[in-house]
Amino acid sequence: MTTLQEVKMHIDSFARPNGYNPYAWNVTKKLALEVWESYLQNRPFRRPVNYLCQEFYQMIRRPEDGEFILPKNSFRMLSNG
């Protein structure tokens, strides 16, 4: 993906997880878009992205190879799922 439009379509393809209200989901998607924007602009992303839903971490992976667009050691995930 090379444009924010492509990224937005990718992010919007994920379904809201059970237990996430619409506001929390929109905030999560906005954060994923900000991560991608930094990635596409070759800038480091400095906000914390720890312990979010599993869907968020799928959003910040390159679809073509599954690699995270943030360094794996820069965030922590929940261990479930």
pLDDT in tens, 46-55: 998 998 899 9
In one-letter notation, the amino acid at residue 12 is D
More confidently predicted of 73 and 9 = 9
- Parse the chain into domains and list their residue ranges: 4-74
pLDDT above 80 for 57 = yes
Mean pLDDT (whole number) for 35-64: 94
Rounded Cα distance between 40 and 30, Å, is 15
Mean pLDDT (whole number) for 69-76: 90
The pLDDT of residue 81 is 47
Task: Give strand ranges (E) for the chain.
Answer: none
